[in-house]
Amino acid sequence: NAGVTQTPKFRVLKTGQSMTLLCAQDMNHEYMYWYRQDPGMGLRLIHYSVGEGTTAKGEVPDGYNVSRLKKQNFLLGLESAAPSQTSVYFCATGDRGVNEQFFGPGTRLTVL
């Protein structure tokens, strides 16, 4: 079992470029989450999904879009990247909202 995987692992973008981060899970979990991690701020929830075809906004959703077309995949899109989006992005999954989450290895994104 691969668990939770993220692609790519690293990416450098120029301001205004777009990209999509992919999260894939083989744990059959209903819930999936996208977080960003910045120094001294812990992890902040960007968007989440409680099942296939559903998405909801988290704490810091502006500048990001998501889609959950298949249960096992959760995509995070940046339509027009900004330097403020330089961060490490983590995907997580869970079987219920109040249970523990399982994290991917992260994607380090730099926007120049």
Least Å distance between CB 79 and another protein?
25
Residue 94 to residue 79: CA distance in whole angstroms:
27
- CA distances for 107 relative to 53, 78, 85, 91, angstroms: 24, 13, 12, 9
Contact 55, 71 (CB under 8 A): no
Least Å distance between CB 16 and another protein?
28
Select from 19-27, 36-44, 69-77, 79-87 the region that touches another protein (CB under 8 A).
36-44
Judged by the rule CB under 8 A, the positions of this chain that interact with another protein are: 4, 33, 35, 40-45, 48, 50, 56, 90, 92, 97-106
